[in-house]
Structure 1
Amino acid sequence: MKLALFDCDGTLVDSQNVIFEAMTRAFARGDLPLPPREAVLGIVGLSLVEAMRQLGGDDPAFPADEMAERYRNAFRELRAEPGFAEPMFPGVRTVIDRLAAREDVLLGIATGKSQRGVAAVLSHHGLEGRFVTIQTADDAPSKPHPGMVLQAMQATGARPADTILVGDTSFDMVMARAAGARAVGVTWGYHARDRLHQSGAERLIDDAGDLLAAMDELWGGALERA
């Protein structure tokens, strides 16, 4: 059985505006200077406390736990506001539908979001029940630790060679390769092509329409680096 694991933010859904606004509110409430937008989006995918540590420059005095809670509160506020949106990227829904229809493929998620956050995304897009394993920052160490992928493989019985992680950040690529799984980088997310390549992506995808063919290539071939 093959396992197709997907990151969420930056891979399935475009949440950059919501993430930046929630971070803006969190830093304002902490009376701290907001990092540049590029820096904020560069940590998407990490667990929230680890993301805050990095935005704080790994300063031990930086209140990462408190800032993570401020961010959670801000995100919940935004989710309740009119116009809240985490749209799926073009073509991604078709990929999910086609993979879900296959008898030889199981679907999973590996994300820095919380279980609550993932549930909200899946509910909004009508994707409940599509993913047989959902690994989040609630359940495993932060990316790029391989724990999420290892737990997903254990839960589904998939072998590393039959597991592909699709993600948009270097954290995803490193996590997948550390778990012995395959790694596909998508370029519509938050990290640049070169960074994905250097982190171990075996394929780089610019258009969701090319994703299925790339995955089938990897499932049929030997482990390699892009």
Structure 2
Amino acid sequence: MIRGILLDLDKTLVNVLDYVDYCSALRALFKHLGREVNADVPETYWGVCASKAMETLVALSGSVEWDTASNIIEEYEIKGAGASTPMHGLGRFMDEVGKFDKKAIVTLLGPKATKIVIQIHKINVDAVVSRSRDFKPKPYPDQVLQALKLLDIRPSEAVMVGDSEWDEKAAVSAGVCFIGVTNRRPVHHFKSSI
């Protein structure tokens, strides 16, 4: 029985991506690092700069450089969070989500940006797992597993809804069913369905 729902935030519930200058964030990040780093991550639709910024954080996960790198990116995310807009149907969708016993946000956004978005859009959930040095970020399953722990439910008792192949990989790797939100894009690389 499904008792809990895990929700990605950006481009699933709220549009933050279109309001973040990830290209400037990436330039600032590479200036600080003095190099480009790479990670093996799924292809997705976020655009070159946003994808590379998140890939860089995945590559730096667990390193001493991660905190500073995340903070550099979050400076730009905070600006975007303040300008964010709800995805079409957010209110009605959240009314339906309210029927689940347990609800969590699982997002790649930094914690300050996440808090702003949740407050502005009055999103009510039981737990929030944003980007943190404590967990490898999506597409790894760590954030999903932390959300399950906070909600005190098993993977078989949850479903995750997200817009990216990173969400899917994290959910499936954690043993959670996944529902992909395509946002009307004709091409996507989702592999699973429930």
1:160-199 matched pairs, under 5 angstroms:
160-188=155-183, 193-196=187-190, 198=191
1:146 to 141, 145, 149: 141
Q: Is the 8 A contact 1:99 1:105 kept in 2?
A: no
Question: Aligned equivalents of 1:75 and 1:150: distance in 2?
Answer: 24
CA RMSD of superposed structures (Å): 3.1
2:95 is aligned to 97
1:205 is aligned to none
1:107 to 103, 106, 121: 103
2:85 is aligned to 87
Question: Aligned equivalents of 1:123 and 1:179: distance in 2?
Answer: 28
1:15 is aligned to 16
1:39 is aligned to 48
After TM superposition, give the deviation of residue 65 of structure 1 in Å: 7.0
1:112-127 matched pairs, under 5 angstroms:
112-127=108-123
Amino acid at match of 1:38: G
Q: Structure 1 vs Structure 2: percent identity of aligned residues? A: 21
TM-score normalised according to structure 2 size? 0.74
Q: Is the 8 A contact 2:160 2:177 kept in 1?
A: yes
Amino acid at match of 1:49: L
Q: Deviations over 1:125-180 (max 9, x none)?
A: 122xx211111211421111111111111222222122111111111101111111
Question: Aligned equivalents of 1:159 and 1:193: distance in 2?
Answer: 32
1:24 is aligned to 24
TM-score normalised according to structure 1 size? 0.65
Give 5+ residue unaligned stretches, structure 2: 35-45
CA gap 1:25/1:177 in 2 versus in 1, 3 angstroms: closer
Q: Is the 8 A contact 1:166 1:184 kept in 2?
A: yes
CA gap 1:151/1:105 in 2 versus in 1, 3 angstroms: same
| Structure having the higher Rg | 1
Secondary structure in 2 aligned to 1:4? strand
Give 5+ residue unaligned stretches, structure 1: 54-62, 203-217, 219-226
2:58 is aligned to 50
Question: Aligned equivalents of 2:55 and 2:113: distance in 1?
Answer: 12
Q: Deviations over 1:82-109 (max 9, x none)?
A: xx52111001221112221x2x531111
